Amino acid sequence: MWTTLCLACNRGVMRSRALNYRLVGFLGVGAWILFWTTSVLLGSFRPSYSHVVNTISELGAVGTPYAIDWNILGFIIPGTLLGIVGAVIVRTVMPKPSTLRTVATLLLVVSGLGVAGQGLMPADMVNGVADITSTSTRAHFICSLISGAAWAVGALMLVGPMKRNPSWRGLHIVSALLVLLTLVASLTLRGIVPDGLAQRIGDAFFCAWFVVMSLKLVRLEKKPPGTIHSVEGGGPV
């Protein structure tokens, strides 16, 4: 009787965790839908704005139309969601507490907060050019650099654990490839193609990583309760 009761409770806990993973996965996908949809929508309200020429940060630059809307809907909300999603991805990839898990979690949370920080500290623009003497502009670009660097390192730290985790095996190659493509696009395309396009290509690979990993969280819910032991969470870091 007690064995049956324990098994029933365990299945209930597993279902609850799997449902939470699924919800977080949808939040990860939703964050990027919100980001890209808002950028297209608000960009369309500015006839002179070009998604090929102008950078994304210009949508939220101080004094521009709908800047507050973009900074909230394009940076702050998606960034906060990505921080949460990143932490859950790490916990499912590395279910057992470890220093590696703690550092990877911290990096992906910082990456998401870096995106949000760009909305809290928008750039100042003078005649369409970022004013690098502005404290807000410097803080904006620092947040951008921190976000990208923290994500790249954190994502690469997950490659080995993904390879060892049966539930995530195969995605370690995808993860490493998307990090590489993001870095290549971010470091080499400026000057070759217009700034706006170069930035969006790099952001697309960055976005693709979160979408792929978020969809994996959604699919984890579809497995029978007894088969998701590899993503069972450990204690707090």
User: pLDDT tens across 31-81, in order?
Assistant: 999 999 999 999 999 888 999 999 999 999 988 889 999 999 999 999 999
> For 12-30, what is each residue's pLDDT tens digit?
333 445 558 899 999 999 9
Specify the 3-state DSSP secondary structure of 68: helix
In a domain, 236, yes or no: no
In a domain, 2, yes or no: no
Q: Name the least confident of 59-63, 147-151, 212-216.
A: 59-63
65 φ/ψ angles, rounded to the nearest 5 degrees: -60, 140
Domain of residue 23 covers: 16-231
In a domain, 3, yes or no: no
Nearest to 118 by CA among 157, 80, 86, 165: 80
In a domain, 226, yes or no: yes
Q: What is the pTM of this model?
A: 0.82
β-partners of residue 125 are: 130
In a domain, 184, yes or no: yes
Whether the Cβ atoms of residue 134 and residue 61 lie closer than 8 Å to each other:
no
- The token duo for 117 is 């920080």
In a domain, 11, yes or no: no
* Interior/surface letters 117-142, b for 16+ CB within 10 angstroms, e for the rest: bbbbbbbbbeeeebbeebeebbbbbe
DSSP 126-152: ETTEE-TTSHHHHHHHHHHHHHHHHHH
Whether the Cβ atoms of residue 230 and residue 167 lie closer than 8 Å to each other:
yes
Total H helices, total E strands in the chain: 8, 2
Nearest to 90 by CA among 178, 213, 220, 191: 213
Number of domains in the chain: 1
Q: Is the pLDDT of residue 223 over 60?
A: no
- The token duo for 222 is 């579809």
In a domain, 96, yes or no: yes
